[in-house]
């Protein structure tokens, strides 16, 4: 299947700083990318949907000014966690979808804010 690469896989940052997570589709063009957040032993919660060249659509309760999403090309979306706090520590997963039925997932990024 297609490959989605997410980087970094792990990041530790200080409280108050910003962290950028990249999601790349390596061998297909992703018209739509999704960002999920997963707390320990819980399900994936959709944060936002981004379409190339347009603004992301955020799910209810997700602060768009805190979680900045940029989908500047058909192969790259970025999630920036701004002014991170310990409660933002989580596992963030992106997925990318072409025009087919399948969404391909990245490996996830473990964010720890200290």
Nearer to other proteins, 1 or 86 (CB): 1
Q: Of the candidates 13, 49, 52, 80, which one interacts with other proteins according to CB under 8 A?
A: 49
Query: Rounded CA gap, 7 and 13, in Å?
Result: 15
Contact between 32 and other proteins by CB under 8 A: the answer reads yes
The 3-state DSSP class for residue 98 equals coil
Nearer to other proteins, 6 or 25 (CB): 6
Identify residues 78-107 at the interface with other proteins (CB under 8 A).
93, 95, 97, 101-107
Q: Of the candidates 11, 13, 46, 74, which one interacts with other proteins according to CB under 8 A?
A: 46
Query: Rounded CA gap, 36 and 94, in Å?
Result: 6
Q: Kindly provide the residue ranges of all beta strands, DSSP E only, lying in the chain, ordered along the sequence.
A: 4-7, 10-13, 19-25, 32-38, 44-51, 57-58, 67-73, 76-81, 90-97, 103-105, 109-113
- The residues binding other proteins (CB under 8 A) are 1, 4, 6, 32, 34, 42-44, 46, 49, 57, 93, 95, 97, 101-108, 110
């Amino acid at each position: 299947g297609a490959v989605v690469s997410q980087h970094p896989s792990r990041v530790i940052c200080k409280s108050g700083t910003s962290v950028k997570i990249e999601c790349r589709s390596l061998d297909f063009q992703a018209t739509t990318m999704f960002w999920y957040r997963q707390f320990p032993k819980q399900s994936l919660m959709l944060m936002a949907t981004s379409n190339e060249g347009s603004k992301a659509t955020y799910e209810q309760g997700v602060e768009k000014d805190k979680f900045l999403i940029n989908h500047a090309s058909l192969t790259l979306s970025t999630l920036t966690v701004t002014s991170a706090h310990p409660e933002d520590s989580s596992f963030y997963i992106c997925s990318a979808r072409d025009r087919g039925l399948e969404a391909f997932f990245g490996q996830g990024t473990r964010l720890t804010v200290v």
